[in-house]
Chains A and B, each alone.
Chain A
Amino acid sequence: MRALCWNGVNELAVETVDDPSLLNPHDVVVRVRLTTTCGSDLHFIDGYLPGMREGDVIGHEFMGEIVEVGNEVTARKVGDRVVVPSFIGCGSCWYCDHELWSSCDTTNPNAELQQPVLGYPTGGIYGYTHPFGGYQGSHAQYVRVPFGDVNCFTIPDSVTDEQALFLSDAVPTGLMGAEFCDISPGDTIAVWGSGGVGLMAGHTARLLGADRVIVIDRFEERLALAHKQFGAETVDYTAVDSVHEALREMTGGRGPDACIDAVGMEGHGTGLQQIYDRAKQLLRLETDRATPLREAILACRKGGVVSVLGVYGLTDKFPMGVVTNKGLTVRSSQQYGQRYVPRMFDYIQQGDLDPSYLITHDLPLEDAVRGYDIFKNKQEGCVRAVFRP
């Protein structure tokens, strides 16, 4: 089959690789119909997240059609049109039982690589470094899905492929981040980053009752999308002296009730701190440029919530004193996609959310290298590039 492979830092290529096959009795094989770029892919493409190996197939956000099922798969069948959350659950362990799906205790074949760093390993994820399982990814014609009964969700006829695609990762990540904010009517939520996850966080914060959503970014087209799709107020951080001051002024000196960081380890900003972080990260003296995270902690009102969706390593200069003195609650996780899929189908069917507006580039898989280049460098107004194998 054809697949997009990581061959080294900033070296991608569409190559011919072996087809996946059923290896365990609960596996299914999905023929990928749509798969999309995600900002978190950029961290290992750029070489800041370790654990990729030459030839790895990347991609973790996808939907498709089941073409093979293992002999213990009972709830899914060949021909089902399905969306698959990016983290792999087993449906049997304590974490899956408690709907903390990305913390699954049994689906990471390389769990021993994560244990020394995290203490306890996460579940596996498709196409996202070997410490996170080493599973091959979805930017391919076919993908093997372990535990097909719990990880494949049959898509209702009224939901299109393009709508269902983002239920794999961007929507549940955003929705989870909005839920972390414990939104009450009248609340103001600030969101750093208006990529796919940031837009879905802002959009679902609205659905959960936020009175105001303020989105912070530097790309005019993305900020315009946030305003158009869910009435966000916007801050272009390159046009203000200080994001914190801008937010303080917009909220009458109180600060947002909750702040969502949807950026992660390659955050941008302005000023000396950004230059310092950038230099240290380039020299591998620190893993993260955590400007948005620090801004979110500083800007949040006292007693508020900071919800972290961005992917980070071992962040330097985490302002713990600010968290303590302001009584902030910091919540974060990799997404619990399986928990949210039925609700996300409802949002789409009720007309509350159509995540297909994230698609700005619709390309054949053979153009995936160009698609990532456009996506990474934010060319042509790219929010998400989608590939059709």
Chain B
Amino acid sequence: MNYLDKAKEQLTDLVGKVIDSGSSGGGTQTVTISCPRDQVEQFWRDPEKLSAVLGDIAEVRSTGPTGYQWILHRGDAESITWDTTLVAEEGSLRFVRATGNGSSTEGAEIQLTFRDAPHDLGTEVTLRVQSPIPDLLTGAAAFKVLYRARALLQTGEVPTLAHNPSARAAAH
């Protein structure tokens, strides 16, 4: 193998590692929210607030005391509906599929864990997507949801660019 081939092999290997590292981040993200734990936990039980922080990604509706229906928006494609049950455990909330029928979302789960942050900084929230649902809450999207949740809890509003003045509709 000459030096050029060796360099190409190393470059290919490096690119592969970068791509792998970028895609393996999954849906696990953590932020600290400067609000009491009770308030933060309650936030995630409220379908309206869930819809507010999910924005364009999904809408959440209540279907019963622990029932939540997620309508996942997929651009021009037809929306996916995902029915879940909220399972509350010590320090965590889990949205799990309501009934097992072998669908593509079988085993899918969104888990939120809560810890008191040190030095009265509030509540540490970790969002984990156990099994990726197509286009939902992986990587950057999970961070976006936590970021918006923190903004809403701390300031009462979600940062938005809706109706942003621009010369092009595409930038709105």
Contact = CB atoms under 8 A, between A and B. Distances in A.
Interface of A: 1, 3, 5, 7, 13, 15-21, 23-26, 53-57, 72, 90-94, 105-113, 115-116, 121, 124, 133-136, 140, 142, 144, 146-147
Contact of A90 (B140, B155, B167, B168): B155
Given A24-B160, A106-B151, A112-B147, A94 B121 contact: yes
Contact of A72 (B147, B156, B161): B156
Contact of B159 (A1, A25, A54, A107): A107
Contacts of A55: 166-168, 170-171
A1 B158 CA distance: 26
Interface string B11-24: 00000000000100
B166 A57 contact: yes
17 contacts: A7-B167, A17-B167, A23-B160, A25-B157, A53-B170, A55-B171, A57-B165, A105-B150, A106-B147, A106-B155, A107-B151, A108-B147, A109-B159, A111-B147, A113-B140, A134-B161, A135-B161
Nearest to A25: B157
Contacts of B147: 105-106, 108, 111-112, 121
B150 A106 contact: yes
Given A24-B157, A54-B168, A93 B163 contact: no
A56 B155 contact: no
B156 A93 contact: no
B108 interface: no
Nearest to A7: B167
B164 interface: yes
B154 A93 contact: yes
A110 B151 CA distance: 13
Given A21-B163, A54-B168, A56-B166, A90 B154 contact: yes
Contacts of B160: 23-24, 109
Contact of A134 (B143, B164, B167): B164
Interface in B23-82: 32, 34
B141 interface: yes
Interface in B116-172: 121, 140-141, 143-144, 147, 150-151, 154-168, 170-171
A64 B48 CA distance: 37
Interface residues of B, number: 28
B167 A124 contact: no
A109 B163 CA distance: 13
Contacts of A90: 151, 154-155
A20 B164 CA distance: 7
A108 B32 CA distance: 16
Contacts of B159: 24, 106-109, 124, 133, 146
A92 B155 contact: yes
A321 B121 CA distance: 37
Given A20-B164, A133-B161, 20 more contacts: A16-B167, A18-B165, A23-B163, A24-B160, A25-B157, A53-B170, A54-B168, A55-B167, A55-B170, A57-B167, A90-B155, A93-B150, A94-B32, A105-B147, A105-B150, A109-B159, A112-B144, A112-B147, A134-B171, A144-B165
A203 B156 CA distance: 40
Nearest to A52: B171
Nearest to B25: A116
A144 B164 CA distance: 9
A120 to B, nearest CB: 10
Contacts of A92: 34, 154-155
Given A3-B165, A93-B34, A106-B150, A115 B170 contact: no
A72 B156 CA distance: 10
A375 to B, nearest CB: 21
A26 B158 CA distance: 11
A115 B165 CA distance: 25
Given A94-B121, A112-B141, A23 B162 contact: yes
Q: Which of B121, B158, B164, B165 gathers the greatest number of chain A CB atoms within 10 Å?
A: B165
B170 A112 contact: no
Contacts of A121: 147
B77 to A, nearest CB: 22
